[in-house]
Amino acid sequence: MLLQIASALIFVLGAAHSYLGERYLLSRLLRRDNLPKLLGGTAFTKQTLRFAWHVTTVAWWGLAVLLAQAADGQLTAIDVARTIGWTAILSALLPLAFTRGRHLSWIVMLVIGALALGWRAP
pTM for the structure as a whole: 0.91
Q: What angle do CA 58, 63, 66 make, to 5 degrees?
A: 130
Q: With CA atoms as reference, report the closest residue to 88 among 118, 104, 121, 111.
A: 111
38 phi/psi in degrees, rounded to 5: -110, 140
List, for residues 13-50, the tens digit of each pLDDT value.
Answer: 999 999 999 999 999 999 998 999 988 889 999 999 99
pLDDT at 40: 85
Q: How far apart (Å, rounded) are the C-alpha atoms in residues 24 and 56?
A: 17
> What separation in angstroms does the CA of 105 have from each of 44, 90, 119?
13, 12, 21
List, for residues 91-103, the tens digit of each pLDDT value.
Answer: 999 999 999 999 9
> What separation in angstroms does the CA of 87 have from each of 59, 61, 114?
6, 8, 11
